[in-house]
């Protein structure tokens, strides 16, 4: 029997809301994950997923929400909140080891309060692929660390962000969006550009001004990675902020 699932996405505020309707099972997990991933890639302050009109046929399919939340923990550091699950689905979520890390709220009002309580400070900027972009990136890093009282991270953050931005200038040559998010215990740094070419560590002996290659980014951060994002990619990094 064919299964059908529909999505209603509201992106007109800092918090994105997704309302799912229809049947969730192992067949419809993939489109659900694709929609959640697209919403997360837009880097909202939070993602609220409304399950009120969802029929869950297979409890294993609920793992799609845990998978999306785990992926978002590295980048874009966006919290996910589930709300208004039907009674049976709520029981399955409570019993699922994988899904216990996800907040589950009774209704959208409770979800909104939860989101407000977990809001993370964030700085964003649009930069053009010009030589001055690295200087602007360093200013943003110093500004963020100053605002959030992270003096010990000024040095490594300016180096990491300058290298990521310099990589876009040298190789992608597209406009970029830079985001810094403080979601303890990490300071998350991300640069989204318009090139699909994945970022790879370069030979530090052949790097231009702006950094000593992505090898240095790897040395200075807890984790870093390159992932598809819309029509381009994102290169993100996490620095310990204890």
Confidence label for 2 from pLDDT (cuts 50, 70 and 90): very low
For 151, other C-beta atoms within 10 Å of its C-beta total 9
Class of domain 122-240: alpha beta
Cα-trace Rg, the chain? 19
Cα torsion 143, 144, 145, 150: sign: positive
CB 144 within 8 A of CB 157: yes
Q: Cα 140 vs. chain centroid, distance in angstroms? A: 19
Considering the domain 5-117, what is its CATH architecture? Answer: 2-Layer Sandwich (3.30)
DSSP bridge partners of 124? 179
Q: How far apart are CA 114 and CA 68, in angstroms?
A: 18
Write down the pLDDT at residue 207. 43
As a dihedral over the C-alpha atoms of residue 21, residue 91, residue 41, residue 204, rounded to 10 degrees, the angle is -150
Structure tokens belonging to residue 180: 């810094």
Write down the pLDDT at residue 116. 85
Q: How far apart are CA 95 and CA 162, in angstroms?
A: 45
Domain boundaries, the chain: 5-117, 122-240
Q: What is the pLDDT of residues 122-170, one digit of tens each?
A: 999 999 999 899 999 999 999 999 999 999 999 999 999 999 999 999 8
The pLDDT mean for the chain works out to 89
**Which CA distances in Å does 172 have to 19, 197, 204, 212?**
36, 8, 18, 17
């Amino acid at each position: 029997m064919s299964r059908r699932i529909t999505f209603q996405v509201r992106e007109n505020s800092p918090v994105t809301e997704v309302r799912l309707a229809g049947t969730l099972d192992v067949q419809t997990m993939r489109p659900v994950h694709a929609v959640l991933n697209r919403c997360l890639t837009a880097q909202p302050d939070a993602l609220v997923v409304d399950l009120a009109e969802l029929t869950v046929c297979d409890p294993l399919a609920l793992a799609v929400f845990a998978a999306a939340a785990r992926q978002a923990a590295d980048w874009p550091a966006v919290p996910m909140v589930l709300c208004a699950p039907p009674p049976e689905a709520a029981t399955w979520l409570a019993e699922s080891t994988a899904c216990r890390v996800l907040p589950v709220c009774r209704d959208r009002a409770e979800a909104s309060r939860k989101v407000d309580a977990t809001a993370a400070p964030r700085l964003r900027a649009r930069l053009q692929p010009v030589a001055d972009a690295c200087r602007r990136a360093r200013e943003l890093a110093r500004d963020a660390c100053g605002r959030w009282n992270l003096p010990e991270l000024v040095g490594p953050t300016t180096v990491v962000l300058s290298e990521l931005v310099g990589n876009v200038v040298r190789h992608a040559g597209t406009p970029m969006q830079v985001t810094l998010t403080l979601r303890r215990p990490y300071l998350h740094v991300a640069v989204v550009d318009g090139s699909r070419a994945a970022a790879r560590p370069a030979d530090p002996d052949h790097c231009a001004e702006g950094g000593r290659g992505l090898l240095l980014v790897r040395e200075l951060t807890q984790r870093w990675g390159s992932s598809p994002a819309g029509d381009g990619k994102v290169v993100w990094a996490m620095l310990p902020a204890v």
